[in-house]
Amino acid sequence: MNILLLGSGGREHTLAWKIAQSPLTEKLYIATGNAGTARVGINAALNPNDFNAVKNFVIQNRIVLVVVGPEEPLVNGIYDFFKNDPELAEIPIVGPSRAGAQLEGSKDFAKDFMLRHNIPTASHRTFTSDEVKAAEDFIRSTPPPFVIKADGLAAGKGVVIETDVEKAISHIHEMLIDKKFGKASEKVVIEQFLKGIELSVFVITDGNDWIMLPEAKDYKRIGVGDTGLNTGGMGSVSPVPFVDHAFLDKITNRIIQPTINGLWKDNIDYRGFIFFGLIKVEDDPYVIEYNVRMGDPETESVIPRITNDLVPVLLACAEGDLTEQIIDTDPRVSATVMLVSGGYPGEYKKGYQISGLPEDVNETGHQKEISMVFHAGTSLNNSNEIVTAGGRVVAVTSLAHTLNDALNLSFKGAEEIYFTDKYFRKDIGFDVL
């Protein structure tokens, strides 16, 4: 079958690499892809947010499965666009409806959803631009730290954690009055600060049945010891050592099942991934955020640990028939180290040639240990050389029997790849070793 995968980052290279291994896959197109996806499929010059262009491409290339990588087309309603178009309605698409994507697209919606369905999360208040004074009063009457979130999508920059009252208020002004994130900051959510350790849990669901994928932990800050600015993610590990059966049961019973039931009760069509951004406070899980897609760079650690064919699972998800499907997990541990452009997450230069890359993502097999390289921000220049094209450039993932071995292999792999101003964190996994 011909498959179209939308997206162009490390998550998409990893998914493309996995999908390409399926005997069911004939042609795999990635829109727009990167230099890595071009090695496992065919890159398509197609904007995932231009739904009419996606439609023409799907029809012309006889696509029978569409997998949506990033959140933006989902929040913009690509699922509904397909279902409402007579020529596309029957084409399976992995990703939630616009209503379901609100779990990520609006923090206020997600908070209300959790309250309504009794799902543990930090307590909160929402304020609109007519309620700036009330937001100020709330800050002045609440003990710090203050967790202030823009309601909508803000490319990972919409959350501020502040201890100073005046600075907190000025962040609120930037969002509500100056509209720092445009429509995305027409509302702000102010939350109770939760202290604990974070983890990422993923399920694939058809809105009724669901299957858990291996869990992961990501490292969001740019600096050693989880310091400095937030990034899209500097590395990840899977599994998460502190997650045992008892804790997984709590996650299942208090968070996953109530979320699926909630979608059902609210009549929300949801056929896709749910990424639960969780925090463990003492021994209990709380939801920090929902995402309606896989995580990046968690995907780079999670997908290589799945040993069975993913295509039947994706197809069954989109067709609303997950009952018979399974996810088999490699007992080995994986660790991903992200190589980024110097300056990121601030300004950085692009177009530097990358050397030391392996010819292919190595095959997974049942070797004792293995490393692979997934591309994130890479492209081919006019001379067909692979060059940097983004903040996060490539991810090195290793599978080994211990976390220590997996990390060391990935650090070694990261040393062997070269581009000007390369940077990576040498302490991924430090808090769980």
> Which residues in this chain contact ligand AMP in the complex, by CB under 6 A?
122, 147, 149, 159, 161, 191-194, 198, 220, 277, 288-289
Q: Is 392 helix (H, G, I), strand (E, B) or coil?
A: strand
Selection from ligand GLY, ligand AMP, none that 194 binds (CB < 5 to 8 A by kind) is ligand AMP
Give the other-Cβ count within 10 Å of 77's Cβ.
17
Is the Cβ of residue 63 or residue 199 nearer to ligand GLY in the bound state? 199
Contact between residue 152 and residue 158 where contact means Cβ atoms under 8 Å apart:
yes
CB of 299 to ligand AMP, least distance (A): 16
Supply φ then ψ for residue 153, to 5 degrees. Answer: -70, 130
Selection from ligand GLY, ligand AMP, none that 431 binds (CB < 5 to 8 A by kind) is none
Q: At what angle do helices 107-116 and 98-105 cross, to 10 degrees?
A: 100
Contact between residue 377 and residue 389 where contact means Cβ atoms under 8 Å apart:
yes
Is the Cβ of residue 41 or residue 297 nearer to ligand AMP in the bound state? 297
Selection from ligand AMP, ligand GLY, none that 298 binds (CB < 5 to 8 A by kind) is ligand GLY
Contact between residue 318 and residue 26 where contact means Cβ atoms under 8 Å apart:
no
What residues contact 106, with CB distance under 8 A and at least 6 apart? 151, 152, 187
CB of 71 to ligand GLY, least distance (A): 9
CB of 220 to ligand GLY, least distance (A): 7
Sheet of strand 187-191: strand arrangement: 124-128, 187-191, 146-150, 159-162
> Could you report how far apart the first and last alpha carbons of the chain are, in Å?
42
CB of 250 to ligand GLY, least distance (A): 22
Helix or strand run (H / E) with residue 291: strand 284-291
CB of 390 to ligand AMP, least distance (A): 20
Q: How far is CA 313 from CA 67, 322, 330, 432, in A?
A: 12, 7, 17, 31
Selection from ligand AMP, ligand GLY, none that 193 binds (CB < 5 to 8 A by kind) is ligand AMP
CB of 408 to ligand GLY, least distance (A): 23
| Residue 14 CA from chain centroid, whole number | 12
Selection from ligand GLY, ligand AMP, none that 218 binds (CB < 5 to 8 A by kind) is ligand GLY
Selection from ligand GLY, ligand AMP, none that 106 binds (CB < 5 to 8 A by kind) is none
Q: Give the chain's largest Cα–Cα span.
A: 61
Selection from ligand GLY, ligand AMP, none that 295 binds (CB < 5 to 8 A by kind) is ligand GLY
Residue number, nearest CB to ligand GLY: 295
Give the other-Cβ count within 10 Å of 164's Cβ.
12
Selection from ligand AMP, ligand GLY, none that 198 binds (CB < 5 to 8 A by kind) is ligand AMP
Is the Cβ of residue 18 or residue 171 nearer to ligand AMP in the bound state? 171
Strands in 102-144 per DSSP E: 124-128
CB of 240 to ligand AMP, least distance (A): 15
CB of 199 to ligand GLY, least distance (A): 11
Is the Cβ of residue 144 or residue 342 nearer to ligand AMP in the bound state? 144
Selection from ligand GLY, ligand AMP, none that 291 binds (CB < 5 to 8 A by kind) is ligand GLY
Q: Which spans of this chain sit near ligand GLY (rule: CB under 6 A)?
A: 218, 233, 291, 295-296, 298
Is the Cβ of residue 122 or residue 314 nearer to ligand AMP in the bound state? 122
Q: Tell me the sheet residues that pair with 237.
A: 217, 335
Contact between residue 296 and residue 10 where contact means Cβ atoms under 8 Å apart:
yes
Q: Tell me the sheet residues that pair with 68.
A: 6
CB of 172 to ligand AMP, least distance (A): 16
Is the Cβ of residue 81 or residue 138 nearer to ligand AMP in the bound state? 138
CA distance 395 to 413: 9
